[in-house]
Amino acid sequence: MLNKIPFLVLIIALFPLFAAAQTTDDGTKTLGTIIQSQIDEPDADTTADDAVTDDIIMDPDFLNDDEQSYDSYNKVIIRILDKVTAESRTFDLNIGKTVAFGSLRIQPKTCKKAPPIDEPESASFLQIWEKTPEMKDEWVFSGWMFASSPALSAMEHPVYDVWVIDCKD
């Protein structure tokens, strides 16, 4: 998803250039109209086979398939570090199940992984809370964590660090 942001910015920036034909108040054509007319009319040195036909239709919802390109998995592998005792432990968590580590409670809601043809990326939506000595629940973190960029959306806690390693079935 992150590598597609520059593409989206480019599309948004160039959209006015490819807008439908418009004429200003003084009767001159806008740049968008000129570019559109150049696209619609084949050059003199092109053949009919080279010309673009109206049979080619682009799906208007092609960007909406972005989320569907990521595969969902049943488990997320996370690593937890206790900064006080220097204990590190790796867990395979089932989606929707809560696990306890020290005073932390962690519940993964989903885990998504990019298909093999894309850049490797695993992301999981985690909800993390802490049991206080007064036995109250306090939210520590709720959001997406990315395996390739743990600092992008990190949990800030004085005792524990949590990060996503991978997704698996």
- Please, which pLDDT band fits residue 146 given cuts at 50, 70 and 90? very high
Tokens of 136: 């109250």
Residue 153: predicted pLDDT: 87
Average pLDDT of every residue of the chain: 74
d(CA 97, CA 109): 8
Residue 39: predicted pLDDT: 42
d(CA 165, CA 148): 8
- Phi, psi of 145, rounded to the nearest 5 degrees: -120, 140
pLDDT tens digits, 23-81? 555 554 444 444 444 444 455 555 555 544 445 554 445 444 555 578 899 999 999 99
pLDDT tens digits, 22-36? 455 555 444 444 444
- Please, which pLDDT band fits residue 116 given cuts at 50, 70 and 90? confident
Evaluate if residue 111 carries a pLDDT over 50: yes
The residues pairing with 129 across neighbouring beta strands, listed in sequence order, are 105, 139
pTM score, whole prediction:
0.59
Arithmetic mean of pLDDT, 100-112: 94
